[in-house]
Amino acid sequence: MADALDPVIHAPARLRVVATLAALDAGDELSFPRLQKLLDMTAGNLSTHLRKLEDAGYVRVTKTHEGRTPATYLALTQHGRRAFEDYQEALTGLLRGAGS
């Protein structure tokens, strides 16, 4: 049952990223600096974990400019939202089994 937990999401830092983005309404985005502040992570550490989530198709990274300043926005993809729901179900099942 433990192998049912998605290893991309299961890493603690990535789980925090996905859970935070999952709290947004579908289609909403969060700026990179806001997510960094919410999670109290360094830019480099957050970028590393976002890359893994993006490579898995779980997170959409949108790079744009606001005036001349670069801006990065993040959102869960539909695939990422479903993967997180599956992860939650697997974890709940695992925890229920541990109580038996």
* pLDDT for residue 93 is more than 60: yes
Give residue 4's pLDDT. Answer: 78
pLDDT tens-digit readout, 10-48: 999 999 999 999 999 988 999 999 999 999 999 999 999
Classify 99 as helix, strand or coil: coil
Q: Please give the full DSSP string across 36-90, using - where no structure is assigned.
A: HHHHT--HHHHHHHHHHHHHTTSEEEEEEEETTEEEEEEEE-HHHHHHHHHHHHH
CA 7 to chain centre: 12
Using alpha carbons, select from 5, 13, 3 the residue that is nearest to residue 84. 5
Kindly state the average pLDDT of the residues 70-77: 97
CA 63 to chain centre: 17
